[in-house]
């Protein structure tokens, strides 16, 4: 009768298994990268999912201020195994998808309704849309529409990837509550907040296959450090005046992709790509 042998349990074996399967090491590197670029971060805390009304735990939340502008990130980390990369199918972005929104937070009541109303009925936040050349997400640039978690057989990770990016979306939705009152936190009359969900994966985990609008593949699959994924998720807010806030895109990034992306978002060029000119006048020297 054959016997099965397993490696003896050691502290090193436990450490290796924990870091490989939990993704905690990736979380910590991501946390340090965000802090190094000037973001204030929260790590591994509970929040109430605004859709399911259930408790969830987010990986990371990060916020950075540039005078009248605020960037809030909802970041989830996933340790994708070597040999099981994420493969995205991308198309040129349509004119209708070339847009994103910022949330305007104001000390003034934005609802032009009755002249006299109780403060509880006032609306101090609204969504503002930036289209086309004014948007961070430009027309005809490649945008992912679907993905495959490449596997040689028995991996269950596709479900785990879906859970991760949906958690990033849910966490972003919850950040809307903070953005409502951003002007109070920043101690100014009016400001704008951009909310971006992100999923961070290890280097070498992101592959893309680009297609023409007609559906014909454009070349062979290749690796990328960042992939823009169209989601167009509307998020309602009880304090929001007008239309719901729209999360137009989610971004998958490797650690290198995260570094370059957050550097861009906080640069003068990035701020101009994200925020309306109204809120950039005081950022000219940043």
Q: What are 10-51's pLDDT values in tens digits?
A: 888 777 777 666 678 899 999 999 999 999 999 999 988 777
Q: Is the pLDDT of residue 144 over 90?
A: yes
Contact 231, 5 (CB under 8 A): no
Is residue 152 a part of any domain in this protein? yes
- Nearest Cα neighbor of 252 from 122, 125, 96, 76 is 76
- Count of the separate structural domains present in the chain: 1
Q: What are 50-88's pLDDT values in tens digits?
A: 777 788 899 999 999 998 999 999 999 998 877 889 999
4-8, 139-143, 277-281: lowest mean pLDDT where? 4-8
Is residue 1 a part of any domain in this protein? no
Could you give the CA distance from residue 231 to residue 25 in angstroms, rounded to a whole number? 28
For 12, 199, 286, the CA distances from 265, given in Å and listed in that order, are 39, 16, 12
Is residue 2 a part of any domain in this protein? no
47-56, 87-96, 243-252, 253-262: lowest mean pLDDT where? 47-56
Is residue 4 a part of any domain in this protein? no
- Nearest Cα neighbor of 232 from 142, 140, 169 is 169
pLDDT number for residue 23: 76
pLDDT number for residue 102: 97
Q: What are 188-228's pLDDT values in tens digits?
A: 999 999 999 999 999 999 999 999 999 999 999 999 999 99
Average pLDDT in the 176-187 region?
Answer: 92
pLDDT number for residue 2: 47
Is residue 3 a part of any domain in this protein? no
Is residue 5 a part of any domain in this protein? no
- Nearest Cα neighbor of 27 from 41, 16, 12, 37 is 41
Q: Where does the pLDDT of residue 253 fall: very low under 50, low under 70, confident under 90, or very high at 90 and above?
A: very high
In this structure, what are the phi and psi dihedrals at residue 151, rounded to the nearest 5 degrees?
-145, 150
Domain enclosing residue 121, as ranges:
11-283
Is residue 276 a part of any domain in this protein? yes
């Amino acid at each position: 009768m054959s016997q099965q042998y397993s490696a003896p349990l050691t502290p090193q074996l436990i450490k290796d298994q924990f870091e490989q399967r939990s993704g905690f090491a990736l979380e910590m590197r991501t946390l340090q990268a965000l802090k190094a670029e000037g973001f204030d971060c929260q790590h591994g805390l509970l929040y109430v999912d605004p859709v399911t009304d259930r408790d969830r735990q987010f990986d990371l939340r990060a916020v950075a201020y540039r005078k009248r502008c605020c960037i809030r990130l909802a970041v989830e980390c996933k340790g994708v195994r070597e040999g099981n990369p994420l493969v995205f199918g991308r198309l040129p972005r349509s004119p209708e998808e070339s847009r994103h929104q910022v949330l305007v937070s104001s000390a003034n009541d934005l609802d032009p309704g009755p002249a006299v109303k109780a403060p509880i009925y006032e609306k101090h936040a609204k969504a503002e849309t930036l289209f086309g050349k004014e948007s961070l997400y430009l027309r005809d640039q490649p945008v992912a529409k679907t993905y495959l978690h490449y596997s040689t057989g028995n991996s269950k990770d596709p479900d785990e990837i879906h859970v991760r990016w949906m958690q990033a979306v849910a966490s972003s939705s919850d950040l809307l509550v903070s953005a409502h009152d951003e002007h109070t936190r920043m101690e100014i009359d009016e400001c704008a907040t951009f909310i971006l969900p992100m999923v961070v994966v290890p280097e070498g985990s992101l592959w893309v296959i680009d297609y023409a609008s007609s559906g014909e593949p454009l070349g062979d699959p290749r690796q990328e450090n960042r992939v823009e994924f169209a989601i167009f998720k509307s998020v309602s807010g009880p304090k929001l005046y007008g239309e719901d806030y729209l999360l137009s895109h989610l971004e998958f990034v490797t650690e290198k992709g995260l570094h370059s992306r957050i550097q861009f978002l906080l640069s003068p060029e990035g701020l101009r790509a994200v925020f309306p000119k109204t809120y950039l006048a005081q950022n000219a020297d940043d």
